[in-house]
A and B are shown apart, each in its own frame.
Chain A
Amino acid sequence: MLDKNGIAKRIAREIKDGYYVNLGIGIPTLVANYIPENIDVVLQSENGLLGMGPFPFEGDEDPDLINAGKQTITMLPGAAIFDSAMSFGMIRAKKVNLTILGAMEVSENGDIANWKIPGKMVKGMGGAMDLVASAENIIVAMQHVNKAGESKLLPQCTLPLTGISCVKKIVTELAVLDVLPEGGFKLLERAPGVSVEEIKKATAGKLIIEGDIPEMTI
């Protein structure tokens, strides 16, 4: 089974040389720590920055320089600043190659719910609806089951949707799965020490298992 850093590490392997990548809040933020050093990647922060760098050294924090999670950050050489409209302009125009975000639920046809629990939490969708509606390559980083032990990979989402038919790949503490265009979660890899049976038990939506499922290498 993977911990949060393990999920981030596995997702980092999906990032290709030359990619512009948008990382959501939570586990996706950790992905930045595991991007291979031999590839050239630019991180987009939707509050208006390309070329996001690591957190600043203590004492160097700049209140004018934050990421979408409102964390203090730095800029790498070659960084560019722009306003919020242009930021979502480049997202809508599909200039960002990969979007990695968290989710509360994903359905077997790629619908995602990650912004609202009716009557309980009220936070808002932030940029998530814009990202999932436009991005062509979306990876979801999340736990396979919720705190109540219920599967988050469902036939249909039960929570208010963030977007429809958009998630392409899911990485959880148990598995890597593709969401097929015709519907269904195709099991690609097992997390270290996790059996196919365990993944079956934790997946409520249609799970497609073909042949031997390899254990992932990180």
Chain B
Amino acid sequence: MNKVVKDADEAIHDIADGMTLMIGGFGMCGLPEKCIAALVKKGVKELTCISNNAGLDDFGIGLMLNQRQVKKMISSYVGENVEFERQLLSGELEVELIPQGTLATRCMAAGYGMPAIFTPAGIGTEVAIGKEVRNFNGKDYLMEMAFDADFAIVKAWKGDTMGNLIFNATARNFNAVMAMAGKVTIAEVEELVQPGELDPNFIHVPGIYVHRIFQGENYEKRIENRTVTKR
């Protein structure tokens, strides 16, 4: 059950044009920055990216947008990226904006083997257009389908060679749910350890969901909004 690959290049070697990728992280927090850099280097195109945000102009998925590698983004909030907005308004980029909880739960459904979920989010709004509405106990819910992604790419704090993952603080965010949702899941970790070194009681994602794992070096871990209290 050794899932270890050498590096990001090897981990993403078979990601091809036109595929659908889940990319973990919330803003810059918990971003799989090594795999994104490898995807930029590889230059695969026509990608559909499922990710809560679309990166900054010079970091994260923004780097892939700059190279026109992304055909479609499925996200909940994209307000931090000028190039993204330009491509969207000019029609070069297709964008599906969906509620953040819907995004997370459609990932969860994929990882839990459920074809669809029902959520009240978006009822009465343009998000509901064309979707099945069901009424349960007097309240309307939208049926939202589980995602179907070729690859899920996530970043964890620690992982072992069997693919068991532990996340740090709020870098867990979408990483934990997306890790469970890809047909193939790639995990990049800050620290790769041997089986037995992680306490089984504190595993966030069991290795059964993870297909490839590697340790990344020199994480930049950019901070988007540095807010501090005066001492």
Contacts and interface: CB of A to CB of B under 8 A. Distances in A.
6 closest Cβ pairs, A-B complex: A88-B101, A130-B101, A123-B79, A164-B124, A84-B104, A83-B176
Given A122-B97, A133-B120, 15 more contacts: A47-B173, A56-B228, A57-B228, A65-B29, A66-B223, A66-B225, A70-B26, A70-B29, A71-B227, A84-B100, A88-B100, A122-B95, A129-B125, A130-B119, A161-B124
A163 B121 CA distance: 8
Contact of B170 (A45, A128, A130, A134): A45
Judged by DSSP, the binding face of A is loop
Interface of B: 26-30, 52, 75-80, 85, 88-89, 95, 97-105, 107-108, 119-127, 157, 167-177, 204, 221-231
Contacts of B77: 123-126
A92 B101 CA distance: 9
B104 A88 contact: yes
B119 A49 contact: no
Given A85-B108, A92-B119, A133-B120, A126 B88 contact: no
Contacts of A92: 101, 119-121
21 contacts: A46-B101, A48-B170, A49-B169, A55-B228, A58-B230, A63-B223, A64-B221, A66-B223, A70-B224, A70-B225, A71-B225, A72-B227, A88-B101, A92-B120, A124-B77, A125-B77, A129-B99, A129-B122, A130-B121, A133-B122, A163-B123
Contacts of B121: 92, 129-130, 133-134
B177 A85 contact: yes
Interface in A62-88: 62-67, 69-73, 75, 81-85, 87-88
| A-side interface size class | 35 or more
Interface of A: 45-49, 54-58, 60-67, 69-73, 75, 81-85, 87-89, 91-92, 111, 119, 121-130, 133-134, 160-165
A66 to B, nearest CB: 5
A85 B169 CA distance: 15
B100 A125 contact: yes
A103 B4 CA distance: 47
